[in-house]
Structure 1
């Protein structure tokens, strides 16, 4: 049997304190944001804190898995011999409980966000998950795609378990810190030096390795404590029966296909994609956001002297809509928003143009997003010099008319109903 070390390894110490700092930051975040998220004055900040909370949770989960693997492959310091048997049992069981808690809490949080349901409002709320905005984290498939009633029940149960375990974490942290300080300043047995290198190690007899049966009893006690907290929380958080179902978005039998384009008779133009863009903007939790569509195609025939023969058809890849925020972009790609898997393109077609005076014009047509086709009037300016035209236009759209975000946010409490779309186009006369 290998000799037990005097203190934990540098890797174990580093992981311990990283996880400790993360947990200590999570508790006040969770307590504050659960109330602030429903306060319009604090909603924008609470949303950002919620995203940080999720990211830190996944960090804790990853670090804990690494720490468990490290501990299984590296011996740990023995406890002092003068510790009573029940103290040794409690110390080891508490360590197991901590490990279980640091894995179970992030997992229940992951289940909750995967459900797409907000327990505070008892309403669907589909929000994508990203890790500190750097990359998306997929939701748990069987939870995300479960039936509506099942997702609601899962959301309440997982959040109830998450909340009870959070309070359990507060108690365990208090006990852990209290025990460490007791050993350092009352018992003076050097236990704290195992994890804090600045403290001096105290030589003395150490307790023998517990029997295998005792080890299993310690593990079961620690795991049982967390299981009781989780089950109690899940039961206590059972939702009331649904009195009415959430708003349901229209469902199309199949995605419409883009028809072949019938050319206009006016002057044809070739779009310079590098010098052109289609952008959108709105507000989320009271804070402005902007985005662009990276992939689109436009066929334009336009002549101020031949408005009757003018026409424009723009096809946009819905999957290319990006805001630069991984969480928002993940939500845009969900079934509740653009749903690119079912509706890969949006289409604007204008075949009626009106001169408004000077360089100002108006294009009338239809915009199809998902299964919804809505009449749209797009005011724009047209300027031409040496066969090169610049076009700028702006239109405000009501996202609810296009079945965007209707299950989670039909009222516009989170994402503004009004979404502004701007176009800037540079084009050359086609030969």
Structure 2
């Protein structure tokens, strides 16, 4: 005898996946339009990240559901006409195929680092609900720009058309369930709805392996045809989009930091636990703040010997943290801070002048990704016994350092000006 209803695990997985899928379609429609509206950009960005996270969750839950189904025999199908039975089997099989194909096509799309609607590069990292970084599909992000562009347009076209197929099948599935419940009255809906009385078990024969394989094959072919049609419909015109930047040259191997010639003023030893370097700006219409967790500084400073004062700070570019795994993933990419190619940024100040009271100004340079740019740091200096406290600010133009110039050259997503603040607590080194 067949079990009267699906197992508790199968029921929970079914409804989790169902509600997740039904939430994704309106979410996708809304965010696709809202992302171009300045007033909705920040919300649309967050919805995009949520959409990706739910999609990855659907992929994992579907794999779990299929594995559970293979080792736990589902209830026997109801007595029905042969064509109804075949249609139900193809529908269920197509759902499984789509629940794998849709998230994978979305994953492929975001891995390309290309915005198909805007037809330009747009590299955005992916994280699962902002908690765990999710890598791009192997080999996609490293492909040539033309290849990534073609993949992005095709993947988005397939993704969109398969979403319509899910809606069509969902309507068919719901309609069939209601027919069984209110017209046939055969208890089929109760097999997956725990709030309904369980139907009686029945010794219903199942599909032969050959017939079952043929119906599953038909489902795979149907989804493949829809995906192919969407892929072809989404293909772009020939030639790169207008906003594509040339591919960056391979970064040279980073050597050890150059030695620092000391100043003649008082040498200071920085307290790393009480000191910090932070940065802030605007991303997708919302302010953000980050910090560098690893850096070292050598400081020689004396208000009475400004000519002999000097400061050098080496910052580990891979230690940038914002508390948002998606932002951190983007900062760690080659387009932004590129810690793999340029693990260290160096700020070196060699000219100081007093502004009155405890206010000073340091003139120097910041070298990041082989770009050396003049920087002026305004700061305050206060000494209490053997402890000195320094607080300073400067504003950097990220474009001068070739940060995000392929994806966001017009500062549509990330502000051009980035404010950097330092807080240093130090004691005499002697």
Measured against the shorter chain, the TM-score band is: over 0.9
> Which residue number in structure 2 is paired with residue 79 of structure 1?
77
Give the distance between the partners of 1:235 and 1:252, measured in 2 at CA. Answer: 33
Q: Is the 8 A contact 1:368 1:374 kept in 2?
A: yes
> Which residue number in structure 1 is paired with residue 357 of structure 2?
358
Q: Is the 8 A contact 2:120 2:243 kept in 1?
A: no
- Kindly tell me: are residues 255 and 312 of structure 1, through their superposed partners in 2, closer, same or farther at Cα, counting changes over 3 Å? farther
Give the distance between the partners of 2:250 and 2:44, measured in 1 at CA. Answer: 35
> Which residue number in structure 2 is paired with residue 70 of structure 1?
68
SS state at 1:92 partner: helix
SS state at 2:130 partner: coil
Cα deviation digits, residues 250-282 of structure 1 (max 9, x gap):
647525542100000110001011111000000
> Which residue number in structure 2 is paired with residue 190 of structure 1?
187
Displacement of 1:198: 1.9
> Which residue number in structure 1 is paired with residue 14 of structure 2?
16
Query: What residue ranges of structure 2 are gaps of 5+ in the alignment?
Result: none
> Which residue number in structure 1 is paired with residue 37 of structure 2?
39
> Which residue number in structure 2 is paired with residue 92 of structure 1?
89
- Kindly tell me: are residues 249 and 223 of structure 1, through their superposed partners in 2, closer, same or farther at Cα, counting changes over 3 Å? closer
Give the distance between the partners of 1:206 and 1:175, measured in 2 at CA. Answer: 26
Cα deviation digits, residues 188-236 of structure 1 (max 9, x gap):
0111011012222444866421222211121012111111111110000
- Kindly tell me: are residues 419 and 327 of structure 1, through their superposed partners in 2, closer, same or farther at Cα, counting changes over 3 Å? same
> Which residue number in structure 1 is paired with residue 300 of structure 2?
301
Give the distance between the partners of 1:10 and 1:203, measured in 2 at CA. Answer: 17
Give the distance between the partners of 1:343 and 1:4, measured in 2 at CA. Answer: 63
SS state at 2:407 partner: helix
Is 1:393 the counterpart of 2:384? The answer is: no
> Which residue number in structure 2 is paired with residue 330 of structure 1?
329
- Kindly tell me: are residues 72 and 229 of structure 1, through their superposed partners in 2, closer, same or farther at Cα, counting changes over 3 Å? same
Give the distance between the partners of 2:162 and 2:314, measured in 1 at CA. Answer: 50
Q: Give aligned pairs, total.
A: 428
Give the distance between the partners of 2:381 and 2:250, measured in 1 at CA. Answer: 37
- Kindly tell me: are residues 249 and 163 of structure 1, through their superposed partners in 2, closer, same or farther at Cα, counting changes over 3 Å? same
Cα deviation digits, residues 65-111 of structure 1 (max 9, x gap):
00000101111111222x11000000011000000010110000110
Matches within 5 A, 1:222-241: 222-241=219-238
SS state at 1:392 partner: strand
Give the distance between the partners of 2:48 and 2:226, measured in 1 at CA. Answer: 23
Give the distance between the partners of 1:72 and 1:253, measured in 2 at CA. Answer: 49
Displacement of 1:313: 0.3
SS state at 1:334 partner: coil
- Kindly tell me: are residues 252 and 374 of structure 1, through their superposed partners in 2, closer, same or farther at Cα, counting changes over 3 Å? farther
Give the distance between the partners of 1:102 and 1:204, measured in 2 at CA. Answer: 29
SS state at 1:171 partner: helix
> Which residue number in structure 1 is paired with residue 128 of structure 2?
131
SS state at 1:316 partner: strand
Q: Is the 8 A contact 2:269 2:427 kept in 1?
A: yes
Q: Is the 8 A contact 1:250 1:403 kept in 2?
A: no
Displacement of 1:120: 1.3
Q: Is the 8 A contact 1:249 1:403 kept in 2?
A: no
Is 1:271 the counterpart of 2:270? The answer is: yes
Q: Is the 8 A contact 1:255 1:342 kept in 2?
A: yes
Give the distance between the partners of 2:411 and 2:332, measured in 1 at CA. Answer: 19
Query: What residue ranges of structure 1 are gaps of 5+ in the alignment?
Result: none
Q: What value does the CA root-mean-square deviation take over the aligned residues?
A: 1.3
> Which residue number in structure 2 is paired with residue 289 of structure 1?
288
Cα deviation digits, residues 373-397 of structure 1 (max 9, x gap):
1011111111111121100000011
Give the distance between the partners of 1:260 and 1:55, measured in 2 at CA. Answer: 45
Is 1:164 the counterpart of 2:161? The answer is: yes
> Which residue number in structure 1 is paired with residue 177 of structure 2?
180
